[in-house]
Structure 1
Amino acid sequence: MKVSVLLLFLLTVSLAAGTLSATVEIKNCTSTEFYFVWVTESGRDKWIDMLGLSILPPDSSAVFQVTEGWYDFRIEDCQWRTYSFSDIPIEGGSSFLWEVYPIHMDDD
């Protein structure tokens, strides 16, 4: 069963008029639940958990909006393992999909 979590959030300090947003989809292609889907603009220290109080089960997606820019993504699963994807350019008006597989797990 595919469950989608739709969270709308703009990740910028200030928005310029006419800035386009992009759709980001994080798909859990592992056999474990994801507890956190952290997102930040590349080079910043403030991370935002896009799941909030939700959990992302296997074979499900989290979908949210970001403004145009460069982003870092970090996921923590139910066994506290992490998966990271950094310095991703996202253009306004586009869509970005990260299908997270076990091979994407960070090395300890």
Structure 2
Amino acid sequence: MLGPEYALLQPIYGELQDRIPSQEGPVRRILIFFGGVDQSNLTGLALSAVMELNRPDLQIDVAIFDKSSHYDDICNLADGHPGIILYSNLPSLAPLMAKADFAIGAAGIIPYPLF
């Protein structure tokens, strides 16, 4: 059971793959998403790093669950920055992924060591 036909993804991801051209030109839109738990606040770390680029021309889409223990911190970090848009509890990331020129995130993590 290997291969994309066994991936546990909504069908929209496969449909969008054929319709979205490869990204060309400068990066103008970045998506940040580190999953629902993000215990280490990698979302905040990535957002802070992108903000340090000092690129007012960037739009930064940040997807985070409102139940995240770092939700308020992310909101405070984004406050006053019109280029940063926060999204909570989305049914799918596909629309944001389709618009992004670049994405920072993780498909999943294991919260404990395997060895």
Q: What's the TM-score once normalised by structure 2's chain length? A: 0.23
Larger helix proportion of the pair: 2
Q: What's the TM-score once normalised by structure 1's chain length? A: 0.24
